[in-house]
Amino acid sequence: MSEIRLEKIDEYRWMIPPVGGMRVPGIIYSSEELIREMGTDESPKQVANVAHLPGIVKYSLAMPDMHWGYGFPIGGVAAFDMEEGVISPGGVGYDINCGCRLVTTRLSLDDIRDCLQYLVVALFRDIPTGVGSKGVLKLSVKEEKNVLEKGAKWAVDQGYGAPDDLETTEDRGRMEGADPEKVSTKALERGREQLGTLGSGNHFLEIEVVEEIFDEAVAVAFGLEKDQIAILIHSGSRGLGYQVCDDYLAKMVKHVGDLGFPLPDKQLSCAYLRSNQGRDYLSAMACAANYAWANRQMLMHWTGETFERVLHKSPREIGMRLLYDVCHNIAKIETFTVDENPPSPPLEKGGKGGFFGKGGLGGFSDERQVKLCVHRKGATRAFPPGHPSLPGRYLKVGQPILIPGDMGTGSYVLVGTEKAFKDTFGSTCHGAGRVMSRNQATRASSGRSIAKEMAKRGIIVMATGKGTLREEIPEAYKNLDQVVQVVHEAGISKKVARLRSLGCIKG
C-alpha cells in the first residue's frame, strides 16, 4: 500500500487525517482483512488526492470494494458545494452510468433446471456482446438525440418494455439537464449502432437463483423469495459514454492552469460547477446516463423475448418484473440537510461529528436543505425509507441496492438506510472490486479453461472471446461476502438476499 497513513476509527472505518493541501479527511470503509489484502494498491492515495479539491464537503470517501482508478479511486464518493465546488470526469469514470437491473420472475430453479443450457445459449445468441458490438437498431442522428434526452422512456415509447418499468428505475431512467448539443460528433457516431448491446469486460447478463433471505419483510416488499429465478443485467453507456468522458477530460486538462488551485494529480482535472465548462460536462454526462438507461431497458426487453422463445411462455406468464435499476458511475445534484450545530472536529474516534462548512451534515428531512453534487464512481446510491425519490412500493422499506460479484459468485440485494444518508451522502459499495488488473488476471489464468472451471461449479458461462473469461476469473476480485459484510455491519446498507449464479453471458 502507499505511504498514506490510516487511523482506525472503529471496526469498519479508517481515517486519512488531513495533511498538506487536503481540505477534509478521507474515510475508508473496510475491514482489517480487506485492508491487509490491498498490497501495493494506491487507492488510499487517491482518496487523499480527492480531498484536495475545492468545495468538497465533510470528507473524501471510499467503499470496501475500492481499487485504483483514473483520478478518483473506483469505489470513491465525494460531494461538492454547488457554489464553490467542482465537477470531475475522473470522479464519474469512463463508463458513465454503468449499472445493474434485476428482473424477478415467478419461476423456480426446478422450472428451468432442464432447459438452463438452452436459455444461456439462446441469450448468448440473441444479446449482442463484446467489444464494439452492434445492436439491431440503426439510429438516425435525430433519433439518437431523442434517446439522449429521454433515456429509458424513449425505449418504452418504442415498445421495449412497459411504463411500469420506469417506476422502478433510478430517476425513472432519465436524468434532467441532458443536452445532446454538448455531445461530440465522435461520441454520437460511437453510440449510434451500440444501443441494446451488452459490451465487454465486467459487463454481463446472468441467470441467478435466490439462495438466501436475510430480511424477510424487505424481501417481501421487493418481491423476492427463496429458490426464485432472477436475471441480473450489468451494462452501461458503451462507446458513447467513454467518448464523452474522453472529450471533456481533454478539455479540462488544457485548463488546469486556469483553475486557481494546484491539483495533486492531473487525472483529477475538473471545472467549477458554476462554470460554463462544468455545466457543459454535466449536460453531456446526463446524455450518456440516459443512453445507458435506454440500453438496459432494451436488454431487459430482449431477455424477456428470449425466455419466451425457449419456455414458450410470455414474460407476463412467468411474472417477469423489474425489481430495480441502479447506476454506479455518475455525478448527481442531490438534496441533503444541514443541522444547526456548531462545527465539530473532522471526525471523532467514536464516529461522531463531521465537517460541513458552518455545520454538520444531517439526515433527510424537509427543512434546511442544501443541494450538493455527489460523485459516485464505482459506488451505488443507498437512499433510506421515506425518501421522495423512491417508488411507492419501496417507500416504507428503502431503496433496493444491487451488488454484483464475479461470474462464479452471484450477487446481493441490499436496502438503503438512514445512516447512509447521514454518513455517506446516501452511498454504498457497488460490487466486489478488483484485486488483479486485467493483465495480471490473464497471466494468472494462462493455460486454464475458465468455462470448464465454472461448469464444475455448476455455472454455465459463455463469452465472445476466451480473453474475457481469463480477465474476469473469480480470483481477480475481492471476496464479495466480505465486502457486503462491511457495509452491512457499518449500517450504510443492509443485507436482504443473496443470489447464486446459474448461467452467465459476457462479451
Residues marked active site are found at 430
Amino acid at 349: K
Residues in the chain: 507
Contact criterion met (CB below 8 Å) for 63 and 72: no
CA dihedral (469, 473, 476, 481) positive or negative: positive
* DSSP helix, strand, coil percent of the chain (3-state; round to 5): 35, 25, 40
Q: Alpha-carbon distance 116 to 107, whole Å? A: 12
The strand ranges marked E within 298-383 are 321-327, 330-337, 369-377, 380-381
φ, ψ of residue 270 to 5 degrees: the values are -155, 180
Three cell numbers at 374? 455527489
Q: Alpha-carbon distance 217 to 462, whole Å? A: 36
CA dist 36 to 72, 154, 412, Å? 21, 46, 24
Q: Alpha-carbon distance 76 to 378, whole Å? A: 7
Contact criterion met (CB below 8 Å) for 495 and 214: yes
DSSP state string for 10-62: ETTEEEE---TT-SS-EEEE--HHHHHTTTT--HHHHHHHHTTSTTB-S-EEE
* Residue 128: strand, helix, or coil: coil
Q: Counting beta carbons within 10 angstroms of the beta carbon of residue 353, is it exposed (0 to 12), middle (13 to 18) or buried (19 or more)?
A: middle
SS (H, E, C) 137-200: CCCCHHHHHHHHHHCHHHHHHCCCCCHHHHHCEHHHHCCCCCCHHHCCHHHHHHHCCCCCCCCC
CA dist 386 to 68, 213, 396, Å? 35, 23, 6
Three cell numbers at 427? 452511498
Contact criterion met (CB below 8 Å) for 468 and 201: yes
Q: Alpha-carbon distance 79 to 412, whole Å? A: 26
Angle at 438 (CA atoms; ends 436, 443), nearest 5 degrees: 85
CA dist 290 to 138, 147, 165, 503, Å? 18, 7, 15, 28
* Residue 121: strand, helix, or coil: helix
H or E segment and range at residue 231: strand 228-235
